[in-house]
Chains A and B, each alone.
Chain A
């Protein structure tokens, strides 16, 4: 077993746990915004929320998995730690960026809805 395989087997569980946990949190807390946007139509909101959660999982876990194929060659323990932290940091920062983007859009949509009324 070489260092690359060890890195992958550390990387995959961590990133998948993070993604699932974060998606679940968004799913829980975003429901109230969607209810506000769709005039309290509970069933429709539930199905939209489910679909959004699945789409989130697919694109993000796909992105996390595809990163493996572009990994650099690793020869020592130190390089393993360095590249692992670099990649994890990159992906989690990207996630945070997308999250703030989402919050911005939610705020924007709610505001425009209030103006229309």
Chain B
């Protein structure tokens, strides 16, 4: 089996990536519920439904991206891959994916803040007009 190390790499990569995505989106949307309730001015059912929809979207984007970048390209003269090479390739993939996930998380946080600010400005304006 000349490709067995690549398969080991795939298994490690997939377990780490899927657990990380699930954990992060659980945490993000557990904490994002408060923002959503703020944005929808206390209408809890709409806020929770929107939260759930965003969570599903987050899963889809991130797991899709993780699978998209999964393929390991490695060609050598005798098709042998050392553990060092495997570790370096895996670190590149997992590290890159982690940074991407962090950026997505900050983007989501930014969207939450923006929505909160907008809904707040809107309410203050309407109260002024009234």
List A residues at the B interface (Cβ < 8 Å): 2, 4-5, 8, 43-44, 47-48, 50-52, 54-59, 61-69, 71
Q: Is the CB of A51 within 8 A of B87?
A: no
What is the distance, in angstroms, from A66's C-beta to the closest C-beta of chain B? Answer: 3
List B residues at the A interface (Cβ < 8 Å): 24, 27-28, 31-32, 34-35, 38, 83-84, 87-89, 91-92, 94-103, 105-106, 109
Bound form: Cα–Cα A4–B32 in Å: 42
What is the distance, in angstroms, from B98's C-beta to the closest C-beta of chain A? Answer: 3
Q: Which of A50, A57, A64, A69 contacts B88 (CB 8 A)?
A: A69
Q: List A contacts of B83 (CB < 8 A).
A: 5
Q: Is the CB of B87 within 8 A of A58?
A: no
Given A51-B105, A55-B105, A66-B27 contact (CB < 8 Å): no
- What are the 7 closest A-B residue pairs judged by CB atoms, nearest first? A66-B95, A62-B98, A58-B102, A65-B95, A59-B102, A47-B31, A69-B92
| Supplied contacts A54-B105, A68-B95, 13 more A-B pairs, CB within 8 Å | A5-B83, A47-B34, A47-B35, A48-B31, A51-B27, A52-B109, A57-B102, A58-B98, A62-B97, A63-B99, A66-B96, A68-B87, A68-B92
What is the distance, in angstroms, from B48's C-beta to the closest C-beta of chain A? Answer: 15
Q: Is the CB of A62 within 8 A of B34?
A: no
Bound form: Cα–Cα A69–B96 in Å: 11
Q: List A contacts of B96 (CB < 8 A).
A: 62, 66
Bound form: Cα–Cα A69–B28 in Å: 29
Q: List B contacts of A69 (CB < 8 A).
A: 88-89, 91-92, 95
From B34, B84, B94, B96, name the one whose CB has the most chain A CB atoms within 10 angstroms. Answer: B84
Q: List A contacts of B32 (CB < 8 A).
A: 47, 51
Given A4-B84, A5-B87, A44-B34, A62-B95 contact (CB < 8 Å): yes
What is the distance, in angstroms, from B41's C-beta to the closest C-beta of chain A? Answer: 15
Chain A residue nearest to B106 (CB atoms) is A55
Q: List A contacts of B92 (CB < 8 A).
A: 66, 68-69
Chain B residue nearest to A9 (CB atoms) is B87
Q: Is the CB of B91 within 8 A of A58?
A: no
Q: Is the CB of B91 within 8 A of A51?
A: no
